[in-house]
Amino acid sequence: MAAEGPSIRLIQVAEHPRLLKMKEMFVSKFGSIPEFYVRAPGRVNLIGEHIDYCGYAVLPMAIEQDILIAVEPVKSQTFYLANTNSFFLDFSTSVNDIHINKTKPQWHNYFLCGLKGIQDHFNLKNPTGMNCLLDGIIPPSSGLSSSSALVCCAGLVTLRANGLSLSKTELAEICTKSERYIGTEGGGMDQSISFLGEEGMAKLIEFNPLRATDVQLPSEASFVIANSCVEMNKAATSHFNTRVMECRLAAKFLAKYKGLKWKEVEICNCLEISLEELRTQILSKNTQDVLLFKLYQRAKHVFSEAARVLQFKKICEEAPANSIQLLGDLMNQSHVSCRTLYECSCPELDRLVDLCRQFGAQGSRLTGAGWGGCAVSLVPTDKLPDLLANVQEAYYQSKKGRLAVEKPCLFATKPGEPSARRAFNECLLITR
Ligand code: GLA
């Protein structure tokens, strides 16, 4: 893959209602016009859940929902961040004094991750201050990667404002590391697809070294994203990190004892380490008090899910007549594995997945970290209208409008189509 940087486009702001609205808000907030805009998309993961942090390939697709930030570098050392949504309060700090609050992860902390990531990478002694206005349309805590899109956007904002450049893969790797300042030990899927993806094009993302390959999905397939409306902030609980630690420990066990009897082993004895070493050198802060680690079933999920990703890609390449059915089967197996072995689903998601299948999806599964958030379903395009109407009625109407009214809960993406319709569909810099 070419080591190219994110695209830079000259776009007439006046021709894009969303950019124009941001520009107007920026002017009334800061009394000046933005110098540039940055965009980073969210993603839906089609298959390959909770395996990126073990180094295995995943298969996500960038989506239309994104984060846009309007930026003006300023001479002072002040960083000021505002949001078009007044629910999110303004934030300001000195660019030389970045503190990321892990205990109470608020929205601006994700910006600070990207900001600090670039500062640290270049060892910037005198970073520029900036005024920023953010407009985000990825539903938060929904498994569509709103937090990583914000980290990526912030990384690119900081890069540009300081007159620096990096390739997309370098940016993805730096933003992956810097999101960990918030305390979650995620893999690189979200940041990689945000930088390397194009809306509507599925990509196989492989790690070490990071690379992205187009995966052509069957032309008669649509994907439906349905929000369970259960919010899950992976930085606010220890569920996510506990899974990462379990995988880390499982890998250590497999390396140390090939053929180990996996039931009832005592971790410290087997690894010949003290409890203190286990806590401080292997576990993350928010998993140090976890009493039970389920290594066998987590590892079983990881290995089987990693194999499903490769099968999924192979079916897409070989395109047999029953592709949709085969791909759907893999997605269904993935959900069962997430639910039973990885225990990262929840009753609402399970219900939603069942309803999607009942109303015509060939396959349906949770997407993203889980414990809430969205399901993604593979639907033959001719069944799409019926499925949308039925799921709307069965899941959302019955929820009596809770959350459902304000948030986009159910939408379809037809791979390959949207990018042609829209002016921008990737992570990029926009200069007016
Ligand atoms: C989150 C993380 C990703 C990945 C998924 C689960 O989105 O940020 O790195 O681990 O969960 O597949």
Q: Which residues pair with 431 in a beta bridge?
A: 10, 36
- pLDDT of 401: 47
**Res. 16 pLDDT band, cuts 50 70 90:** very high
Cα 355 to middle of ligand 1, angstroms: 24
Q: Mean pLDDT over residues 91-96, rounded?
A: 96
Cα 247 to middle of ligand 1, angstroms: 13
- pTM, entire model: 0.94
Per residue in 33-67, pLDDT (tens digit) is 999 999 999 999 999 999 999 999 999 999 999 99
Q: Mean pLDDT over residues 364-385, rounded?
A: 97
Q: Using the predicted structure, report yes or no on whether residue 419 has a pLDDT greater than 70.
A: no
Q: Using the predicted structure, report yes or no on whether residue 144 has a pLDDT greater than 60.
A: yes
Cα distance between residue 253 and residue 241, in whole Å = 18
Q: Using the predicted structure, report yes or no on whether residue 403 has a pLDDT greater than 70.
A: no
Per residue in 324-366, pLDDT (tens digit) is 999 999 999 999 999 999 999 999 999 999 999 999 999 999 9
Helix, strand, or coil here: 273?
A: coil
Spatial contact of 287 and 241, defined as CB atoms under 8 Å apart: yes
Contacts by residues 24-28 (CB-CB < 8 Å, ≥ 24 positions apart): 25/82, 25/84, 25/133, 26/70, 26/72, 26/131, 26/133
* Ligand 1 pocket member 189 (CB < 6 A): yes
* Ligand 1 pocket member 365 (CB < 6 A): no
Q: Using the predicted structure, report yes or no on whether residue 405 has a pLDDT greater than 50.
A: no
Q: Which residues of 150-182 are buried (b: 16+ CB within 10 A; e: fewer)?
A: bbbbbbbbbbbbbeeebebbbbbbbbbebbebb
Of these residues, 52, 66, 135, 190, which one is catalytic? 190
Cα 14 to middle of ligand 1, angstroms: 36
Cα distance between residue 118 and residue 92, in whole Å = 18
Rounded percentage of the chain residues whose pLDDT exceeds 90: 75
Determine whether 190 is an active site residue: yes
Please choose from 184, 189, 246 the residue to mutate so as to test ligand 1's pocket, defined by most ligand atoms within 8 A of CB.
Answer: 189
Q: Mean pLDDT over residues 413-431, rounded?
A: 69
Q: Using the predicted structure, report yes or no on whether residue 8 has a pLDDT greater than 60.
A: yes
* Ligand 1 pocket member 53 (CB < 6 A): yes
Edge-first strand order for the sheet with 374-380 is 363-366, 374-380, 221-227, 410-413
Per residue in 184-225, pLDDT (tens digit) is 999 999 999 999 998 888 999 999 999 999 999 999 999 999
Q: Using the predicted structure, report yes or no on whether residue 262 has a pLDDT greater than 60.
A: no
Residue with tokens 């190219």: 4
The token pair at 337 is: 């594995």
Spatial contact of 135 and 146, defined as CB atoms under 8 Å apart: no
Cα 141 to middle of ligand 1, angstroms: 12
Atom of ligand 1 nearest to the CA of 48: 12
Q: Which of 270-274, 303-307, 398-402 has the lowest mean pLDDT?
A: 398-402
Please choose from 50, 61, 344 the residue to mutate so as to test ligand 1's pocket, defined by most ligand atoms within 8 A of CB.
Answer: 50
Spatial contact of 218 and 316, defined as CB atoms under 8 Å apart: yes
* Ligand 1 pocket member 205 (CB < 6 A): no
Asked: is 8-215+421-431 a CATH 3.40.50.300 domain? The reply is: no
Atom of ligand 1 nearest to the CA of 58: 12
- DSSP letters spanning 340-409: HTS----HHHHHHHHHHHHTT-SEEEE-SS-SSSEEEEEEEGGGHHHHHHHHIIIIIGGGTTTTTTTS--
* Ligand 1 pocket member 49 (CB < 6 A): yes
- pLDDT of 417: 59
Cα distance between residue 129 and residue 235, in whole Å = 27
**Res. 281 pLDDT band, cuts 50 70 90:** confident
Select the more confidently predicted residue: 257 or 400: 257
The token pair at 341 is: 């072995």
- pLDDT of 259: 65
